[in-house]
Every structure is written in C-alpha cells, then in structure tokens.
Amino acid sequence: MEYNIPLSVPNLKGNELKYITEAVTQEWVSTGGALISKFERNIANYVGVELATACQSGTAGLHLALILAGITNGDEVIVPTLTFIATVNPVKYLGASAIFMDCDETLCLDMDKLEEFCENECHLDGKRLINNKTGKHVKAIIVVHIFGNMANMERLMKIKDKYNLIIIEDATEALGTYYVSGIYKDKFAGTIGDFGIYSFNGNKIITTGGGGMLVSNNPDLTRKAKYLSTQAKDDEINFIHNEIGYNYRMTNLQAALGVAQLERLEEFIDIKKKNFELYKDGISDLSGLRLLDFNNNIRPNYWFYSLVLDNFKFDRDEVITYFVKNHVQVRPIWGLIHEQRPYKKEQCYKIDKAIYYRKKIINIPCSSNLTEDDIKTVLNLLKKI
C-alpha cells in the first residue's frame, strides 16, 4: 500500500550523492575503499572510542561480538524477549541457548528480574555463573537500547561485575543516545559494555541502506572483528586463512552514504526531538493514550515514538487498521521472541510486562523529514477515531 505518511524513511538531502559519485568515479564500489575507513573513523570519533569496524549489518556485528565473547555450543546468553529477532538469532548461529528476560516500563531489560534470576536461579562456580536448571554456563547478556532509549547500564555493569558476565550492547536503534548524568555521564549507548553494535538499516536514524558497526573499548578485539569480517585473511597475496572468517564487510558505496548521513545526525536528533514534543503535547489531552517517554538521565536520539493505548476505547489492531485505511503507516512492536516457533522451548523468566506492552503499543510516524502538517494529520486522526 502507498502511504501518504510513512513510518520511518531515510532523509537523504545532504552530501550522499556527492560521496557516492566520488566512490563510483574512483571505481571503489565493493568492500575496499577509503570511505569505509573514513566512516569507521568518524563513528569512532563521534561515540568516543578508539576504533570501529564496519559490517554488512547490525546482525553481522552482533554475530561477530558473540564470537569474540567466546560464546560456543552449550553456553547460555540472557536476552530480552521484547526486541527484533535479529538480536537473538546470532546466539543460535553459535549453537548457544537463549534465556529470555522481561522488559521494564522503558521497554528495556528489567534489571530487577535480571538480578533476581542471577541470584536465585543460578550459582557461581568459581567465576562461572551456572544455571541451576540446565547446569550450563550463563556467559553473556545482550542488552537492547529500545527505540533510542537507554537501558539502566549502571545497574547492569554492577551485575556484570558480580557475576562475571560479558555485556553486548545492541545499540542498533540508539546511535546518538548518551547519559547526561551519573557515573557514565557523556558515555554513548554502545560504549559502556564489552561490545556495542549500531545499525544503518533503511529505517534507522542514519542509514547506509544496509550496514552496521561494531565498537569496543578493547581495540584488539575491534581489530579482530575486522579480521573476521574480511574472511580472516592472514596473507592476502597467497590467500592464507588461519581461522574461519565471514563475508561481513561493508561496501564503499554504503560507507559513502554513511559518511554523509553522520554529518547530519545531530540535526536529525534535533528534528526528532521537536516532533516528539509536538506529538506529546497533542496526545496529552486524549483520554486513554500516552506517548512513552524516554529516561530523564539521557539525551535520547528519539528514534521511534511509542503510542501506549492504556485504556483506549479501541484495541491495538483496530487502531492500526484505522490508520492504514487513512494511508498512515503505523505498526505494532515486534512479536515477542520467546513466543516465536524457533524459541518456544527456551527458558523464560517471569515475563509479563513485555506481554502487556506488546498488546498496547503502536509505533507512529517518526521520520526526520516528517512535517508539522504530517503530525497534525496523525493527531487529528486520533481525535476522530
């Protein structure tokens, strides 16, 4: 269907064509080229790490992070059930098992339940956290910064230290989000745990069409990620490969888009903040509706807007159908991963809030090229329903 107001589409009005033309003119269009290195440097400088490794996708970045974390067959990884399935699938690529955790009121990982699980459902065997139910090593946590919000990293890093866990930050939706107070003041999402992953899919706040980026506070691991992402070439002339590698490198054409998009990231965030406030003001006097806010100790990137139908007169699916009929694209949040067929037999822990929010939240249009008239149209439809 054609939408008059789409949900989240790219804003490509900067230097994208200029840099892509440069790549084409120089005939560097594949996985080699100066713009890939430039994009990596620019991302690293922006989020405040030494190095970054560009990948084909955020999923590829998560897979590499899990490999570098030493996740193998028989290990267990704690993951949120409320996330896109790409967060969890790489755990299965490596033959490991997922343990599904609930969300809190921010939609991010519930730290109370996480700590309770580690304390009551597991035990430490030396430095290894062992799951009492399965006898397996719980080795890592993938925490997702949902919709550009920030999970409670202060709590999480204390849990990490207490139970010797590896933290992988799925910051695929949160490029540009950072703390404004607390012990991690000025630290960006993706730079606090052991690994951070960003995505540049077409609907993200900046896009390369498809693509991702891995960062780490350990430059050696970031270099190892690059090595693995380029087929693990130990001798490029004689084609010697001492490890299993992957064809996970970003192309120069994608990087050309990324360099141009990153130049405008702060502008996009300013626009999305203004639009969020317009929505929030307009929804505040509508009975049974609220716009889910972001944590007050962060500067979010305002990527996605979540409309919560707490006590609304129509249910989620009725509201979605209404908007679609009026050519406005909205969507429910993802199907919970623990309910998906490949994961129904995996362990879950006290999941209830995620079930509630799955039934009650609709994402509404949020592109950085959204106009005030577009927002008025969405608000007027809500008033008329």
pLDDT computed for residue 65 by the predictor:
98
In a domain, 375, yes or no: yes
Domain total in the chain: 2
Q: Are residues 279 and 314 in the same domain?
A: yes
Is residue 11 in some structural domain? no
Please compute Rg for the chain using Cα positions: 21
| CATH code: domain of residue 239 | 3.40.640.10
Q: Are 101 and 202 in the same domain?
A: yes
Residue in the block written with tokens 């999970």: 151
Residue 324 lies in a domain: yes
Cβ atoms 274, 254 nearer than 8 A: no
Q: Are residues 255 and 277 in the same domain?
A: no
Of 262, 284, 309, which residue constitutes the final position of a domain? 262
- Do 234 and 357 belong together in one domain? no
Q: Are residues 269 and 347 in the same domain?
A: yes
Banded model confidence at residue 2, pLDDT cuts 50, 70, 90: confident
The per-residue DSSP string of 61-104 comes to HHHHHHHHTT--TT-EEEEESSS-GGGTHHHHHTT-EEEEE-B-
Contact yes or no for 309/319 (Cβ under 8 A): yes
Q: Domain residues for 126?
A: 16-262
In a domain, 228, yes or no: yes
What CATH number is given to the structural domain containing 301? Answer: 3.90.1150.10
Is 137 found in the same domain as 57? yes
- Residue labelled with tokens 């304390």: 119
Q: Is 225 found in the same domain as 341?
A: no
**What is the per-residue pLDDT across 47-95, written as a single tens digit (0 to 9) for each?**
999 999 999 999 999 999 999 999 999 999 999 999 999 999 999 999 9
Strands (DSSP E) contained in 150-208 are 166-170, 178-179, 195-199
pLDDT in tens, 330-371: 999 999 999 999 999 999 999 999 999 999 999 999 999 999
Looking at the domain assignment, is residue 4 inside a domain?
no
What would the pLDDT profile of 83-94 be if each residue is shown by its tens digit?
999 999 999 999
Q: What is the mean pLDDT of the chain?
A: 97
One domain for residues 272 and 215: no
